Structure 1
Amino acid sequence: MPDVSVRPMTPAEFDQWRYDLARRFADSKVAAGTWTAEGALEKALRGNDALLPAGLATEGMLLLKGLRPDDGTPIGRLWIGLQHPQGAPGCAFLYDIEVEPGFRGAGYGRALLAAAERAARERGLAELELNVFGDNPVAIALYASAGYAVVTQQMRKTL
């Protein structure tokens, strides 16, 4: 697994990430059939803004940039909530983990996941939970191989 370091996002990085994250989430919700395309981006932006009312300064949220420590090349991002959205005690929530396209398949996802776990542990949390879309087998395999277990599962059948 390659080494990664993390640092807080800058305001410019946050602004770009905020939009890109909402676009990806909206597209995933549309592809999953849970949202219509019309208004999906705006809905995603509103949802993220509700979770990050003070942007980068939102208390209890870690917004981190992943870097290669040897040369500082950006390789990805993390968004970690230090309080679980459903109130699970001692459990952080990984809202977003993303590896830059040019670094995928080289172990950086696993390294970023380990960095997220470290960040949660360093803040006294004992667990980390995340959500993954069912049509993302690469991510599902990564999380399973890193020791994550399914705690809830939604299923759908087209009739």
Structure 2
Amino acid sequence: MVTVTVRTMAPVEYADWQRDLAEAYADEQVTAGRWPREGAVQRALDENAAALPQGVDTPRMLVLRGVDAAGEPVGRAWVGLDHPRGAPDVAFLYDIEIVEERRGSGLGRALLAAVEEAVRQAGVGALELNVFGPNAVAISLYDSAGYVVTTQQMRKSL
């Protein structure tokens, strides 16, 4: 069985993650048709800075680095312990990822389990997330980990 533990992200890791996260998030928003491409990365950087004004020390936020049994960094995660829409006793998973060269080896499931445990340890009873429709791999992971659809947005191009 694959094991991953989590720790607070180091400052140098945080800086790299912020850029990677903004680029990925901007691309998802553009692909989903929610944002124009121009200025999307800066918009994502600005939104993340507003959500994490004190970086890894922002209260009620878990900014985590996943490490494998050998202590090697294998992934990152970001959880808000307070739901962005105020749902009581529900944390929100803003980001979770495994380093590209280690994907497909069970680390994603192990990191998700470690994140869930960190949320439990913080005293929160549920974890919610958003996944974009085209991300079939993530949808499959969350489904097999026991997540259920609570809301669904749909769009048709006309």
TM range (shorter): over 0.9
Unmatched segments (≥5 aa) in structure 1: none
- 2:53 aligned with 1:57: no
Within 5 Å, give how 1:138-157 maps onto structure 2.
Answer: 138-157=137-156
Report runs of 4+ in structure 1 exceeding 3 Å deviation: none
Q: Distance in 2 between matches of 1:158 and 1:91?
A: 33
Within 5 Å, give how 1:17-32 maps onto structure 2.
Answer: 17-32=17-32
After TM superposition, give the deviation of residue 32 of structure 1 in Å: 1.1
TM-score under structure 1 length normalisation: 0.97
Partner SS state of residue 134, structure 1: coil
After TM superposition, give the deviation of residue 56 of structure 1 in Å: 1.4
Alignment-derived partner of residue 112 in structure 1:
111
After TM superposition, give the deviation of residue 130 of structure 1 in Å: 0.4
| 1:49-72 CA distance string (max 9 Å, x none) | 110011111100011110112x21
Alignment-derived partner of residue 45 in structure 1:
45
Q: Distance in 2 between matches of 1:124 and 1:5?
A: 18
Identity across matched positions, percent = 57
Alignment-derived partner of residue 84 in structure 1:
83
Q: Distance in 2 between matches of 1:14 and 1:103?
A: 20
Unmatched segments (≥5 aa) in structure 2: none
Partner SS state of residue 22, structure 2: helix
Partner SS state of residue 91, structure 2: strand
After TM superposition, give the deviation of residue 102 of structure 1 in Å: 1.1
Alignment-derived partner of residue 34 in structure 1:
34
Alignment-derived partner of residue 6 in structure 1:
6
Which residue type is aligned with residue 57 of structure 1? D
| 1:15-66 CA distance string (max 9 Å, x none) | 0001110000001111111111100001101111110011111100011110
What RMSD, in angstroms, separates the aligned Cα atoms of the two structures? Answer: 0.8
Q: How many residues align?
A: 158
After TM superposition, give the deviation of residue 7 of structure 1 in Å: 0.9
